[in-house]
């Protein structure tokens, strides 16, 4: 048997990737909850946190990773940064229940350390599939880690509040990087800037509305 035949037979008989073939968010979230791709995270977590919100949300928020409270409750952004995120959304006329919220990685890193590159790589297909299934018009990238996932060469201080377009699954989607709300908890003096940046979400939505 030639190498080529072996290769093509290997491909032919490879089982279909369940992340790519799953048809619903519920199915995908079941896969995330059972995931053990990152040994350390799977051992350390209480539970994985796939994300929360409507399956047809127009806006998706992507944070960094679950923290302590998210790990306990199984929901994203439920700690102090989450309360501030809810407040910011209300200021711009959005309810939390209208948007889908998730993270770059779905499991809490030990002691809330930053996600490692291989963890972000392993988790990437879940986030990509979430975006493919939800088909949002706007993806808000909260903070450095979320920016790095999609725009690895950019710096959050320069990229924040500058919308850009990107094709996802054949659809044009607006990506908007913003400073992470957790900054506003640690540095009260940054709150006015964070709030100013959040208005860019409203502007992007208003602009999208003129196109449809
Ligand atoms: N909670 C989350 O779910 N993600 C973050 O990035 C911060 C807090």
Instruction: Indicate the domain borders of the chain.
Output: 18-211
Tabulate helix, strand, coil % of the chain (nearest 5): 55, 15, 35
CATH of 18-211, one of 3.40.470.10, 3.40.1390.10, 3.40.50.880, 3.40.30.10: 3.40.470.10
Which ligand 1 atom minimizes the distance to the CA of 81? 8
Q: Residue 60's beta-bridge partner residues?
A: 100, 139
CA distance 149 to 199: 23
- Are 47 and 125 contacting, i.e. CB atoms less than 8 angstroms apart? no
Residue 68 has which token pair? Answer: 């302590």
Q: Give the list of residues 6+ apart from residue 133 with CB closer than 8 angstroms, or none.
A: 23, 24, 25, 28, 55
Atom 8 of ligand 1 has which residue's CA nearest to it? 77
Pocket test for ligand 1, best of 47, 49, 70 (most atoms within 8 A of CB): 70
> What's the CA gap between 179 and 165, in Å, rounded?
18
Q: Judge contact between 146 and 67, C-beta under 8 A.
A: no
Distance CA 90, CA 86 (A): 6
Mutual orientation of helices 117-134 and 25-33 as an angle, nearest 10°?
160
CB 178 within 8 A of CB 141: yes
Phi and psi torsions of 183, nearest 5°: -60, -40
Ligand 1: centre distance to CA 44 (Å): 17
Ligand 1 center to 9 CA (angstroms):
43
Query: Atom 1, ligand 1: which residue's CA is nearest?
Result: 77
CA 66 to ligand 1 centroid distance, Å? 5
3: left (phi > 0), else alpha (psi -120 to 50), else beta?
A: alpha
User: Ligand 1 center to residue 120 CA distance, Å?
Assistant: 15
Closest CA to 64 of 197, 181, 184: 181
The preferred substitution site among 32, 50, 64, 68 for testing ligand 1, maximizing ligand atoms within 8 Å of CB, is: 64
Distance 82 CA to ligand 1 centre (A): 7
The pLDDT tens digits along the chain (212 residues) read: 344 444 445 566 788 899 999 999 999 999 999 999 999 999 999 999 999 999 999 999 999 999 999 999 999 999 999 999 999 999 999 999 999 999 999 999 999 999 999 999 999 999 999 999 999 999 999 999 999 999 999 999 999 999 999 999 889 999 999 999 999 999 999 999 999 999 999 999 999 999 86
Q: What is the pTM of this model?
A: 0.93
Which of 67, 83, 88, 178 to probe ligand 1 with, by most ligand atoms within 8 A of CB?
Answer: 67
């Amino acid at each position: 048997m030639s190498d080529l035949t072996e290769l093509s037979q290997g491909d032919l008989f490879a089982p279909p990737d369940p992340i790519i073939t799953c048809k619903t968010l519920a199915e995908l979230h079941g896969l995330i909850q059972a995931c053990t791709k990152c040994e350390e995270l799977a051992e350390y977590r209480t539970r994985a946190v796939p994300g929360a919100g409507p399956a047809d949300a127009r806006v998706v928020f992507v944070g960094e990773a679950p923290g302590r409270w998210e790990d306990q409750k199984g929901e994203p952004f439920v700690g102090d940064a989450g309360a501030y995120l809810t407040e910011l959304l209300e200021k711009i006329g959005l309810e939390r229940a209208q948007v889908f919220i998730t993270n770059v990685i779905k499991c809490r890193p030990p002691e809330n350390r930053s996600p490692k590159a291989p963890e972000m790589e392993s988790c990437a297909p879940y986030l990509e599939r979430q975006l493919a299934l939800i088909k949002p018009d706007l993806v808000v990238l909260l903070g450095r880690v979320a920016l790095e996932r999609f725009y690895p060469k950019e710096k959050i201080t320069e990229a924040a509040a500058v919308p850009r377009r990107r094709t996802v699954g054949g659809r044009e989607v607006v990506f908007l990087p913003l400073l992470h709300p957790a900054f506003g908890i640690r540095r009260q003096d940054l709150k006015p800037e964070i709030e100013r940046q959040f208005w860019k979400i409203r502007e992007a939505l208003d602009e999208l509305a003129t196109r449809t």
